[in-house]
Amino acid sequence: MKAVGVVAEYNPFHNGHHYHINRAKEISRADIVVAVMSGNFTQRGEPTILDKWHRAQEALANGVDLVVELPLAFSVQPAHLFASGAITMMTELGIQSMVFGAEHAEWDFDKLVRAESKFKSNQFDRYNATYATVFNEQLQEATGVQLTEPNDILAFGYFKARYEQAAPLDLIPIRRLGTHYHDLQINEQRQIASASAIRESVKDRRNNYQTVVPQRTINDLAELNGVADWNELYPYLRYQLIQAPIKTLGTIYQMAEGLEFRMKAVAETAENFDEFIHEVKTKRYTYSRLIRVCLYVLLQITDAEMKAHFESPYIRILGFNRHGQTYLHEIKKQATVPIVARMNRELKNGLANLDYRAGKMYEQLNRTELQDMRRQPIIQD
């Protein structure tokens, strides 16, 4: 069977995602669609509006044949590591092509990857600018373009990861359809809106999102009591930052250049998360980077743990239909990493420990059902 892959957060699943799935299958002429989906926290380190099981069910109800979870070690990361994990999983799953949205699908991303190989590494040591700023300065000089849009940045990451892994995967960028990625307004005369706009609509109880999401998503969102965010998580984060010794905080993944001192000091006085993150922010770090570090602190993820999980990827099956099940039987024989259908004690304490911890935090935050133990893959009729 020929498979096409898509990478997504589905936060939540909307009509633009449905279009993407249909377009991917049409372009690739594939028999099935495999979605590599983030778990309960997004790339920016924020909790998803619906848990991974509801979002997997929405995907299966709208054209996806197999949904697998992108482990937290890759899903809550900057674009190049997020993309690297996604490409690794696509390769292990025997997927022949991958279709993804980009703001500038016409760009030669391979050319941009080659240009990056000639960048001056000493320029990245500047303390008055973020990595992204210095990167784009050099890219502009070499190619005349800059990577400033989220999907373009991810597209670059996919091409770079394919090159580094020598992955036999056909990468097909398509122009992103509809509104801007960060657009917070829903035009009820159109059938596509950004996931950000839909979340804001749910959060503000405007409920004007029904025209831009499939029925399954409407049903799931209608059951929500509210939208959890970092304001709810902040008391747990603040407690850890205040109580943990500086030496312990210094072992947290991505806690660099004395950031632990700054975060600990701000936590002493900041009463809410918005105040905290604003005070911690400097020109050196983006908000996305800082929010991810906050999640690493909350889950007590150390450098050593993250390194171990990078070196031991696994594939967690969240759901499938009969076509996806047939495909799974085909590729299981060739996969070189574990393919997991059900969490057990060994996985909880080993390969899947970071995802298990994230799931427990999500359960506490949203008062939702168990996310990992005793959960079996969804089987879509």
* pLDDT at residue number 126: 61
* Average pLDDT estimate for 235-248: 97
Write down the mean pLDDT value for the chain: 92
* pLDDT at residue number 188: 63
Q: Is the pLDDT of residue 346 over 80?
A: yes
Residue 122 pLDDT grade (very low, low, confident, very high; cuts 50, 70, 90): low
* pLDDT at residue number 133: 83
* pLDDT at residue number 189: 60
Beta-bridge partner residues of 6? 35
Q: Is the pLDDT of residue 328 over 70?
A: yes
Q: Specify binding-site residues.
A: 7-20, 101, 151, 176
Q: Are 237 and 291 in contact (CB under 8 A)?
A: no
Paired tokens of 30: 């594939």
Least confident of 56-70, 109-123, 138-152, 168-182: 168-182
DSSP 11-67: TT--HHHHHHHHHHHHHHT-SEEEEEEE-SB-TTSPBPSS-HHHHHHHHHTTT-SEE
In three-state secondary structure terms, 160 is: helix
Q: Is the pLDDT of residue 163 over 90?
A: yes
Least confident of 8-22, 168-182, 232-246, 336-350: 168-182
Q: Specify binding-site residues for ATP.
A: 7-20, 101, 151, 176
Among candidate residues 28, 44, 9, the one with its CA nearest the CA of residue 229: 44
Q: Is the pLDDT of residue 176 over 80?
A: no
Which residues, at least 6 apart from 112, have a Cβ–Cβ distance to it below 8 Å? 139, 143, 145, 147, 156, 159
Q: Where are the beta strands (DSSP E) in 202-354?
A: 315-320, 339-340
**Interatomic CA distance for residues 182 and 162, integer angstroms:** 27
Residue 331 pLDDT grade (very low, low, confident, very high; cuts 50, 70, 90): very high
In three-state secondary structure terms, 251 is: coil
Residue 12 pLDDT grade (very low, low, confident, very high; cuts 50, 70, 90): very high
* Domain at 3-107+153-180+190-227+307-379, CATH from 3.40.50.620, 3.40.50.300, 3.20.20.10, 1.20.1250.20: 3.40.50.620
Residue 182 pLDDT grade (very low, low, confident, very high; cuts 50, 70, 90): low
* Percent of residues, the chain, with pLDDT higher than 70: 94
* pLDDT at residue number 367: 85
* pLDDT at residue number 268: 96
Q: Is the pLDDT of residue 195 over 80?
A: yes
**What are the structural domain ranges in the chain?**
3-107+153-180+190-227+307-379, 109-144, 230-306
R_g of the chain computed on alpha carbons? 20
**Interatomic CA distance for residues 372 and 360, integer angstroms:** 8
For tokens 């005793």, the residue is: 374
* Average pLDDT estimate for 361-373: 91
Q: pTM for this structure?
A: 0.93
